[in-house]
Amino acid sequence: MSVVWLLQLSARAQDYLNVVKTNSPMESFSLDNVAKILFDEDNIYIKQSNGNISDYSYDNVAMFTFLNPTITVNDILDKSNSVDIFYSVLLNEVNVKSSSPIKNVSIYNMLGRLVTKKTPNSQTARLSLQSLPTGLYIVSVLNAEGRISKKIIKN
């Protein structure tokens, strides 16, 4: 399985994920019992806190619905490419740490426009977000192993 997306959930007992299937009854999961949701090319996997895994083919799922959760989305492209990307709310900056020298770090707005770019040629990088408005951005890091992207929310 080549994981394309990983949803990590932070949820309360009243938060739910409903899986509406095309040919059978809807399944409902309390999000405080869901550890991860993985998406690959063909299937969706829901890993529960007790270790049980439910898998669904895209052909058999009509819709996913979330009720009130806080969800973060992380790209998982290649586990050998170790890149950490995090947003510091206090400093209003993005910090990047890589296992190999970073060729460039680009930040795009949700319209796909490049808003800032840095070419550090080192294993760490800092990009200030002071001049950017509040919103959702995509941080894209290119190093010798490939490209990793992560969505961040600037408050």
Predicted pLDDT of residue 128: 93
Sole residue written with tokens 């095309």? 22
Predicted pLDDT of residue 131: 93
> Strands 146-154 and 34-39, how do they pair?
unpaired
Q: Residue 78: which pLDDT band, with cuts at 50, 70 and 90?
A: very low
- CA–CA distance from 132 to each of 56, 65, 127, 139 (Å)? 39, 31, 11, 13
Return d(Cα 117, Cα 80) in angstroms, integer: 24
Q: Which two tokens stand for residue 111?
A: 């319209």
Single pTM value for the model: 0.50
Query: How far, rounded to the nearest angstrom, does the alpha carbon of residue 30 sit from its chain's CA centroid?
Result: 20
For the chain, list the domains and their CATH numbers: 5-74 (2.30.30), 77-154 (2.60.40.3080)
What is the average per-residue pLDDT within 128-155? 88
Model pLDDT for residues 18-65, shown as the tens digit of each residue: 777 777 778 887 777 777 777 766 777 788 878 888 888 877 777 767
